[in-house]
Structure 1
Amino acid sequence: MTMRRLLTTLCCALTAVLATAWSAQPPTQPDRPDAATTLRTHDGLVRGTAHDGYRTFEGIPYAAPPIGRLRWAPPHPAAPWHGVRDATRPSSACPQPAGEVPGGSTDEDCLRLNVTTPDGARPAHPRPVIVWLHGGGFTTGAGASYDAHRMATRGDVVVVTVNYRLGALGFLAHSGLPGSGTFGLADQQAALRWVRAEIGAFGGDAHNVTLAGESAGGYSVCAQLASPAAADLFDRAIIESGPCTGRADRPFAPSSVPLSTARTAGADLTVKVGCSTAHDVMHCLRRVPVSRLLKAQAADQQPAYATPLLPRDPVSAIAAGRFHHVPVLLGNNHDEGNSWAAGIIQAGHPVTPGTWPDVAATFFPAAGEAKAVVGEYPVHATDGGPVFGAVIGDADFACPTARTDTLLAAQVPLWRYEFADEHAPLLFPGTPPFPLGAPHASELPYLFDLGGRPRGLTAAQHRLANTMIDYWTRFARTGDPNGPTSPHWSRHTAQSLAPDHIVPTHTTLTRHHCTFWNALG
């Protein structure tokens, strides 16, 4: 295993550690069992759970189980059911290694979604809808990890969280296989079609849908912006820490790959599971146990472009103006790379003045790049971790987000933020080797109760959380995050989000060395 592969694998492991802190709680008992919790969808009746001020409906099928001949097929409609379907507890997560889902999952019957709706939402008085796509590197994650009740009640919106196929089951590419490299994206589109058709019964406005996501979920929003098949499926977009300009050679941020590259990865998987010499390769692959596929799949997973669903790389589509022109709220965190740097150091790879050139060369192998990075970001005796974290965050997130901003803002209304709470709650147990500041995913507890567990926020952090929910949900309602109770957010300047310090910031490009990264290419 090369040093680059080792460190990338460690990064994926760290993501799983982070996610473990989010694992879902057992379902709670209803707070108000007498409230109306049975609703009719086109497929049948569903019974949810009443809480104080909101209702939840969990594990609703939006597509048929992708099993048997439907493994590696575009999503098919869910079958109607008789009687009342129990929607009081989450469904299985899509197949994935252990991490966010304790013990992992091998259940392919996972194309389900969850709806959180405020009490006042009714078909006669519909509320804006936010559809949330989880992160997890396209290999882990589950919609049920995101308890959206604070967003739903404070923002008076309906929130839908979605499972979609992950890993090789979501993104396998094979010659002659329709949908190659994009099954997970196709699932997301099927969920959006379900929302357009069904959300009215839950008090949601089917004509006011915001597609939102973080990390791989944020990049999924980019892909849907660029996908012709997603036309008219959503009306606004929120992209958190998933810049549309992600690149496969910057392994910490999500990206897409050409179909040819995805097919090469698919061929490697076929060899590993013993199907490469089969007369009918796909028939063989569809009989491989999920557990074996999970062991054989690559640590890195990306959607494929040059495909019918995603004809162009999202950055190319956006630069050419060939994307869905909807308002966008876009942002990143101030210290995106620190959690990865900390994990790599804790795994036994210190970053010192002596080791820094080799570490830099691992991630920037092109001639002259590592030397330039070391010169731009010198490491001294005790600051190796924060410096490495800054390189990851600046190269993979902050500057690509700024470039995404430039491309989109020239064509659609856009608001950009930088989450900057330097004391954001840690997302994993233990003491990191250096203060992490506002690393990747640290904004999520301000919007959701991850795994149903509210984080221990200070009073000032609670105020920030409320303001962020106000911004996000006003944007979903009107396409503009501004309102009378929040600091003004200009379309022309990134908004820094920190406790009791929400202000425009004019220094993001300088602070994150974006002139350097743009010149490096």
Structure 2
Amino acid sequence: MASTLLKIAAVCLLVYCTSAADPIVTLSHGGQLRGVSTTFLDSKVDLFLGVRYAKPPVGKLRFQKTEEAEGWKGVQDAKAPGSICPQIDPAKNTFAGEEDCLFMDITVPGGVQPEAKKPVMVWIHGGGYSMGSGSAYLGVALATTGDIITVSINYRLGVLGFLAIEKGTGNYGLWDQRAALLWVKQNIAQFGGDPDLVTIFGESAGGGSVSAHTIGQHSDGLFKRAIAQSGTAYMMFGQSDNMRYKWEQSIRESTDCDAKLSTHECLGSKTAEEIVTQTKILNFLAPVADGDFFADEVVSKESYGVSDRFDLMLGVNGQEGGLFYSFETALVAQALNKSIFEHGVDMEVVRESLRIKCLTQITPFSPNLCVDWIISTYKIDETDDDRERAARLVTFLGEIFFNEGGVNQLQQHAAGETATYAYYFTEEFKPDPPNPLWSMPDWLKTSADHADEIPFMFGCTLIKKDMEKNDIWKKITEADEFIEQFMNGISEEMSSLSLSMMTMWTNFAKSGNPNVPVALPEGIPTWPEFTTESDNFLEINNNNIQVITTPNKERLLKLGSLRDARKLQRHADQRPASAETQENQNMQKDEL
């Protein structure tokens, strides 16, 4: 997760110069916003930064659903991004942000034209629901290339955004996102956007959030299309009532809560910095099935159902598991006084890493059974080569937490009448020089890691080109080594791939079909739909874009059975008195 945020911190920041003709927009409540006009690659762009879309979630509004922002009279400036939401900066391991953080940034190519009715793309950032910000993703290249309006949003994170103590609570970050979508619905026409042509898109936790809005009924009518990149809601729903209780107890212990106070009363008396810093090791809080945002008490693959409410594009990268290997598996190895970046992993590290995963994120039932099944299915114990063992572990981590849930949603959605498209991104991003904080070792990386598609999809090649003629960009890279390394990882030869991806993404936002209305470059095949009869994926890379079918389909179907906690519970309840290996054999005989 630190990997994702460091990429976030480096993605496509935009510096602008003010103009005498600052754009002014009148909002639905009568108040006005004053933005800033600038240019990008000689094209006019209007920016509205730090736009408040909801009341600050402070005081009595902490741990409450989002409330609509109050209006105002006169003109307010929108020339600088608002504060990010409270979080731990992984690069510095220090607290950052403010609770008053519910802001969005809006990019309008060609300048504000209220009658233009341009398509709108709303970006929901990733970061494990615990870190990140919308302001790190100003979509100027995407907006300018596709002639669409981009919106990027902040939302509450970590304990402040996703603490769920009782049923019907939690998911505050999702309610924030819904409030932002409602604001867009009510106001984007004044910027020249079409409120009936909104696409939500996001990566990792942002992709999971996009998927959550396709399930939750409260977001109906607020978007027409959805793009989920490397994340679905299904991948995050592993928290049973028992696990919620354990999280609550851990939070109470971490924050030294008085036994006489409820958890909400205790946390309500603390500052955001105290809450975030004292609970920073408990960073896997995520959306939960609450019976409110989600109508179903239990969210599973069936919760997607058949939907004709929206078009869907969904995809994963070729080596998603590198995120977990480089960060979480490394921490396990460190605790065992071992290193995994030079020689790979031994079975002790494998078992302990998988045990923690099974216990906290897959199923709280029979973690040893879960571990044995994974090791057997992925043949992790059938090699003496620690590097090969690491590669098999990475494959499992990517498939269980990203690929399996994504294929489930694709299959469910394809049964409806609206469009369904799937992609498989395999182009490696290699920063130059390498950054050991968020890079897999070269011997292990064989495909695109988690979040590797972001610099291509956001057009960072174009931003790099603009840097070469604009001194202000050089000042930025000198001030932030991560930005410099990120931009230097983008080669000129990859600019065509970036342009193709931006065209596909914005085409889908315009028409629900990534092939039109703007023609794709020669040599790129027509991207076919994913259907119940033909499980088509478009493999995207710089050398050979081609149509394939679901990668490792049969294994993903087995993983779906592993993720069914109720099925695991049934096996655990029926466990014979013999050793767990017998239980493992019984499990494999069942319909996995």
Judging changes above 3 Å, is the alpha-carbon distance between structure 1 residues 117 and 73 closer, same or farther for their aligned structure 2 residues? same
| Equivalent in the alignment of 2:351 | 358
1:295 Cα deviation (Å)? Answer: 2.7
| Equivalent in the alignment of 2:441 | 433
| Equivalent in the alignment of 2:326 | 342
Structure 1 segment 369-380 matched on structure 2, within 5 A: 369-373=373-377, 375=379, 378-379=382-383, 380=385
Is the partner of 1:51 in helix, strand or coil? strand
Judging changes above 3 Å, is the alpha-carbon distance between structure 1 residues 495 and 100 closer, same or farther for their aligned structure 2 residues? farther
Is the partner of 1:195 in helix, strand or coil? helix
| Equivalent in the alignment of 1:85 | 76
**Greater alpha carbon shift after TM alignment, 461-470 vs 364-373:** 364-373
Judging changes above 3 Å, is the alpha-carbon distance between structure 1 residues 342 and 73 closer, same or farther for their aligned structure 2 residues? closer
Task: Output the amino acid matched with 2:441.
Answer: P
Give the alignment partner of residue 270 of structure 1, picking from 221, 237, 252: 252
Judging changes above 3 Å, is the alpha-carbon distance between structure 1 residues 422 and 306 closer, same or farther for their aligned structure 2 residues? same
Q: TM-score, normalised by structure 1?
A: 0.86
Is the partner of 2:501 in helix, strand or coil? helix
Is the partner of 2:487 in helix, strand or coil? coil
1:444 aligns with 2:454: yes
Q: TM-score, normalised by structure 2?
A: 0.76
Aligned counterparts of 2:278 and 2:394: Cα–Cα separation in 1 = 30
1:216 aligns with 2:205: yes
Structure 1 segment 95-494 matched on structure 2, within 5 A: 95-99=86-90, 103-119=94-110, 122-175=113-166, 180-246=169-235, 254-255=236-237, 257-258=239-240, 261-262=243-244, 264-278=246-260, 282-297=264-279, 298-312=282-296, 313-316=298-301, 318-321=303-306, 325-343=309-327, 344-345=329-330, 347=334, 348-350=338-340, 351-352=344-345, 354-355=347-348, 358-359=351-352, 361-362=354-355, 363-364=357-358, 365-367=367-369, 368-373=372-377, 375=379, 378-379=382-383, 380-411=385-416, 412-423=418-429, 425=431, 429-430=435-436, 432-435=440-443, 436=445, 437-448=447-458, 455-456=487-488, 457-483=490-516, 484-486=519-521, 487=524, 488-492=526-530, 493-494=536-537
Task: Output the amino acid matched with 2:183.
Answer: W
Aligned counterparts of 2:303 and 2:134: Cα–Cα separation in 1 = 27
1:41 aligns with 2:41: no
Aligned counterparts of 2:140 and 2:96: Cα–Cα separation in 1 = 25
**Greater alpha carbon shift after TM alignment, 490-499 vs 375-384:** 375-384
Aligned counterparts of 1:403 and 1:341: Cα–Cα separation in 2 = 24
Task: Output the amino acid matched with 2:442.
Answer: F
Aligned counterparts of 1:237 and 1:418: Cα–Cα separation in 2 = 17
Task: Output the amino acid matched with 1:242.
Answer: G
Task: Output the amino acid matched with 2:19.
Answer: P
Contact 1:124 1:203 in 2 (8 A): yes
Judging changes above 3 Å, is the alpha-carbon distance between structure 1 residues 167 and 46 closer, same or farther for their aligned structure 2 residues? same
Aligned counterparts of 1:495 and 1:56: Cα–Cα separation in 2 = 33
Task: Output the amino acid matched with 2:114.
Answer: P
1:425 Cα deviation (Å)? Answer: 4.4
Aligned counterparts of 1:195 and 1:357: Cα–Cα separation in 2 = 46
1:197 Cα deviation (Å)? Answer: 0.4
Structure 1 segment 32-71 matched on structure 2, within 5 A: 33-43=19-29, 44-52=31-39, 53=43, 54-71=45-62
- Show structure 2 runs of 5+ residues with no match: 359-366, 461-481, 531-535, 564-592
Aligned counterparts of 1:200 and 1:424: Cα–Cα separation in 2 = 40
1:102 Cα deviation (Å)? Answer: 8.4
1:94 aligns with 2:80: no
Contact 1:20 1:99 in 2 (8 A): no
Aligned length: 496
Is the partner of 1:42 in helix, strand or coil? coil
Task: Output the amino acid matched with 1:270.
Answer: R
| Equivalent in the alignment of 1:8 | none
Aligned counterparts of 2:559 and 2:164: Cα–Cα separation in 1 = 32
Aligned counterparts of 2:434 and 2:195: Cα–Cα separation in 1 = 37
Give 1 or 2 for the bigger CA radius of gyration. 2
Task: Output the amino acid matched with 2:202.
Answer: G
Task: Output the amino acid matched with 1:369.
Answer: W
Contact 2:182 2:222 in 1 (8 A): yes
Aligned counterparts of 2:200 and 2:142: Cα–Cα separation in 1 = 15
Aligned counterparts of 1:516 and 1:228: Cα–Cα separation in 2 = 29
Deviations 1:485-504 (A, max 9, x none): 24310003100000142110
Task: Output the amino acid matched with 1:410.
Answer: A
1:38 Cα deviation (Å)? Answer: 1.9
| Equivalent in the alignment of 2:362 | none
Is the partner of 2:88 in helix, strand or coil? coil
Give the RMSD, CA atoms, in angstroms: 2.9
| Equivalent in the alignment of 1:517 | 559
Task: Output the amino acid matched with 1:273.
Answer: T
Aligned counterparts of 1:153 and 1:15: Cα–Cα separation in 2 = 25
Task: Output the amino acid matched with 2:28.
Answer: H
- Show structure 1 runs of 5+ residues with no match: 1-11, 247-253
Task: Output the amino acid matched with 2:510.
Answer: R
Aligned counterparts of 2:349 and 2:182: Cα–Cα separation in 1 = 49
Judging changes above 3 Å, is the alpha-carbon distance between structure 1 residues 471 and 256 closer, same or farther for their aligned structure 2 residues? farther
Give the alignment partner of residue 545 of structure 2, picking from 495, 502, 508: 502
Contact 1:262 1:304 in 2 (8 A): no
% same residue = 27
Judging changes above 3 Å, is the alpha-carbon distance between structure 1 residues 377 and 240 closer, same or farther for their aligned structure 2 residues? farther
Aligned counterparts of 1:280 and 1:406: Cα–Cα separation in 2 = 43
Judging changes above 3 Å, is the alpha-carbon distance between structure 1 residues 117 and 427 closer, same or farther for their aligned structure 2 residues? farther
